[in-house]
Amino acid sequence: MSSVPENAPDHCPGTNSEDAGKASACAGCPNQQICSSGATKAPDPDLDAVKERLSSVKYKILVLSGKGGVGKSTVTAMIGRALALDESKEVGILDIDICGPSQPRVLGALEEKIHSSGAGWSPIYVGENLAVMSIGFLLNSKDDAVIWRGPKKNGMIKQFLRDVDWGTLDYMVVDTPPGTSDEHLSIVQYLSAAPPVAAIIVTTPQEVALLDVRKEITFCRKVNIPIIGIVENMTTFVCPKCKTETAIFPPTTGGGEQLAIDFDLPLLGRLPIDPRIAKACDHGENFLTEVPDSPATAAYKEVAKRIVEFCNVQS
């Protein structure tokens, strides 16, 4: 049967096509949004394989941001590290920021390469109970660029979800690209087959960041992903010498706090700027254990605690 709808524009790629909703012919078509969401496509036969693989992963947590540079990858890594402070839990970090994979560097695994076994791809262990998988491990050099179109990126995300041998995980924290792109639609499509899934939204206090975050919240609501809460990063700068707190990025429209009120979401934490975070991440060190007395460390731990509470209530 043809997958081209009756009211389709000329050159409609068909609702089952990888280009559905994305081809130039789709511009202006009333079905464009629904096609590009993937909702019209026949079920992917690999969904069952993903579901089977992820049945040993208890909670899947997507970390989202509207803009790049707000600290999403840093927050992802720190949440993973903070959750792994509980030695009774197994934690995995999945980096699907295909064009800008940061986790290998931030987690100190830059030189690692993936090994595969009969059970699938083995993730890299950066701690006793903390594993990571990133496209960064598959690149020949850290300066390689990934220049892929949507379908290829989606194929890689599927492979990550289907073929990585995580073993049993309590939490899988997923670092996503900024915005709402093909990668988000793919991961949501696959993870929705293996609930529970929830999201955390990272922003900085400025309106220019918040603007895009509102779209992220709308996206989550459209695809039925519950939002654990908002993390405001770079809220203030606390001078390490005089301890004076300064708002470097003034919250002209109320920052994360107002956003949380507007959307009726919890504000999970407000993370201060601490130059030692950037330094530790550049060196792949664990900031939480290296700088235990930083207010940022306390804030990260509090965010992790709230995530655990959310997950416990869900289960």
Q: Which is nearer to ligand ADP, 170 or 274 (CB)?
A: 274
For residue 39, the minimal CB distance to ligand ADP (Å) is: 28
Q: Are 306 and 266 in contact (CB under 8 A)?
A: yes
- The closest of 82, 113, 107, 112 to 94, measured between CA atoms, is 107
Whole-number Å distance between alpha carbons of 249 and 204:
8
Q: Which is nearer to ligand ADP, 47 or 238 (CB)?
A: 238
Burial group, residue 85, by CB count within 10 angstroms (0-12, 13-18, 19+): middle
DSSP tag of 54: G
DSSP tag of 164: B
Q: Which is nearer to ligand ADP, 17 or 74 (CB)?
A: 74
Residue given tokens 């079905």 in the structure block: 31
By three-state DSSP, how is residue 203 classified?
A: strand
For residue 102, the minimal CB distance to ligand ADP (Å) is: 5
Q: Which is nearer to ligand ADP, 27 or 248 (CB)?
A: 248
Q: Which is nearer to ligand ADP, 35 or 64 (CB)?
A: 64
For residue 109, the minimal CB distance to ligand ADP (Å) is: 16
Q: Which is nearer to ligand ADP, 131 or 273 (CB)?
A: 273
By three-state DSSP, how is residue 59 classified?
A: strand
Phi, psi of 142 (to 5 degrees): -65, -15
For residue 71, the minimal CB distance to ligand ADP (Å) is: 3
Tokens at 163, concatenated? 């073929």
By three-state DSSP, how is residue 284 classified?
A: coil
Q: Which is nearer to ligand ADP, 116 or 289 (CB)?
A: 289
Reported as type and span, the H/E element at residue 131 is strand 130-134
Burial group, residue 276, by CB count within 10 angstroms (0-12, 13-18, 19+): middle
For residue 73, the minimal CB distance to ligand ADP (Å) is: 3
For residue 48, the minimal CB distance to ligand ADP (Å) is: 32
For residue 152, the minimal CB distance to ligand ADP (Å) is: 22
Half-sphere CA count of 156, side-chain side, radius 13 A: 23
Contact positions vs ligand ADP (CB under 6 A): 65, 68-74, 102, 233-234, 271, 273-275, 277-278, 281, 296
Q: Which is nearer to ligand ADP, 210 or 234 (CB)?
A: 234
Positive or negative, the Cα torsion across 103, 107, 108, 113?
Answer: negative
Residue given tokens 């800008």 in the structure block: 100
Q: Where are the beta strands (DSSP E) in 209-299?
A: 227-238, 245-246, 267-273
For residue 263, the minimal CB distance to ligand ADP (Å) is: 20
